[in-house]
Amino acid sequence: MPFKKLQADLLFDGYRFRERQVLVLSEDGKVENIIEPDAAGGDTEAIAGILTPGFINCHCHLELSHLKGHIEEHTGLPAFVRQVVQKRNFSEANILAAIETGEANMLQNGIVAVGDISNTLHTLAQKQKKTIYYHNFIEAMGFNPQVAESNFNAYQQVYHQFAAQFGPQQVSITPHAPYSVSEPLWQKLIAHDNNGLLSIHNQETEEETLWFQQKTGGFADMFRAMGFNTDSFTASGKTSLQTYFHQFRSQQQVLLVHNVYTTEADLAFIRQTGNEVFWCLCPNANQYISSTLPDVAMFVKNKATVVLGTDSLASNYQLSIWEEIQTLRKAHSDIPLELMLQWATSNGAKALKIEDQYGSFEKGKRPGVVQITNNEARRLC
């Protein structure tokens, strides 16, 4: 069997950098070995820059790709949510074409696997082409406890159609956010079969903290403007994370997404829960929506397991994990690139439970290969 031998200036194996070593791949892209140059023979291909496993995008809304350029920046989250709700009514042809373009954008930028949020069936046909691996998070929301049953049944129909195509191991019904799910709906989501991997938008805005601690702020205004009755909600006096996280079962693995207003006390709280938790950062979306970034240094200091996401083209200019890394590097030049690449590869693969095939250059895996050169990332294979 012929082999492809690639030698870059730096090889990142998913965990650490290796200088001048040679990545050996089979013809179909499976990792065979990493070897020293003098053992590689004369048919090694020299690659400029860095070689890394394919990137894992742990949080995306591919179905919102048609909203690129239609959502005003820097409005804060409550106003952003209202814009998305008001502007989602595009023709199906436009929605499907934008989904195809969005996926092509991810492929070009070296993304090989995605944790994708789906409220509808719009992405199903594109995902069936299997050019990218997807874990499909069927995102449920419903603030009114009286309609929890009908809400859940509607999302369950979407779940069944995705599960019929990809199997239950690639599909979860998951809560949208702590402020958008009623108590009865929570119970139905958490108890659903095959929900071992879940995702939730967490502490994306200060307004979420105000809502849970005091029942005031932008969410109170948003619910009032949308005509929602909030009598069933009682402020806990605690952060949202410390209020809702007990809903998850201890064996459920959870992706907490955004985490802009997460505190050290929240990190300490999560360490006591027994759940395996991954902290997904989407810095470009945070800047787009509210001109903020999470306290990344705090996550590093506390050795939190960080992963990366792009969010959607409603809140980003591109779907590129490398661009997310670039934004973080500008704000935190002291955090090693080696660590950020780990967030983008092996950590991401563990977060989506696909580390048997993705995230690192280990024998038998087929993780994809990305070249980083001149501050650009592109997929080689």
User: What is residue 222's predicted lDDT score, i.e. its pLDDT?
Assistant: 85
Residue carrying structure tokens 């105000």: 210
The mean per-residue pLDDT over the stretch 321-337 comes to 97
Tokens found for residue 302? 């506390």
Buried b (16+ CB within 10 A) or exposed e, 309-341: bbbbbbbbebbbbbbbbbbbeeebeebebeebb
User: What is residue 88's predicted lDDT score, i.e. its pLDDT?
Assistant: 74
**Percentage with pLDDT > 70 across the chain:** 100
2 pLDDT more than 80: no
Contact 307, 348 (CB under 8 A): yes
pTM, two decimal places = 0.97
4 pLDDT more than 80: yes
202 pLDDT more than 80: yes
Instruction: Please state, in angstroms and rounded to a whole number, the distance separating the CA atoms of residues 202 and 208.
Output: 9
* Edge-to-edge strand list for the sheet holding 111-118: 55-60, 111-118, 133-140, 171-175
The mean per-residue pLDDT over the stretch 245-265 comes to 96
185 pLDDT more than 90: yes
Q: Tell me the HSE value of 355 on the side-chain side, using a 13 A CA sphere.
A: 13
The mean per-residue pLDDT over the stretch 305-324 comes to 98
How many residues in the chain? 381
User: What is residue 8's predicted lDDT score, i.e. its pLDDT?
Assistant: 93
Most confident of 2-11, 72-81, 198-207: 198-207
Q: Which residues face 254 on adjacent strands?
A: 198, 277
User: What is residue 226's predicted lDDT score, i.e. its pLDDT?
Assistant: 81
User: What is residue 1's predicted lDDT score, i.e. its pLDDT?
Assistant: 54
- Tell me how far apart the terminal alpha carbons of the chain are, to the nearest angstrom: 18
Backbone angles phi, psi at 43, to 5 degrees: -110, 30
User: What is residue 152's predicted lDDT score, i.e. its pLDDT?
Assistant: 95
Tokens found for residue 292? 């903020």
Question: Which of residues 224 and 73 earns the better pLDDT score?
Answer: 73
- Domains defined along the chain, listed by start: 1-54+360-381 (2.30.40.10), 55-358 (3.20.20.140)
The pLDDT mean for the chain works out to 95
- Tell me the per-residue pLDDT of 126-136, one tens digit each, with 9 for 90 and over: 999 999 999 99
The mean per-residue pLDDT over the stretch 11-32 comes to 95
7 pLDDT more than 60: yes
Q: Tell me the HSE value of 49 on the side-chain side, using a 13 A CA sphere.
A: 15
The mean per-residue pLDDT over the stretch 184-195 comes to 92
The mean per-residue pLDDT over the stretch 335-364 comes to 98
Tokens found for residue 60? 């995306």
**Nearby residues of 336 by Cβ (< 8 Å), 6 or more positions away:** none
Tokens found for residue 233? 């909600």
The mean per-residue pLDDT over the stretch 64-84 comes to 92
Neighbours of 20 (CB within 10 A): 11
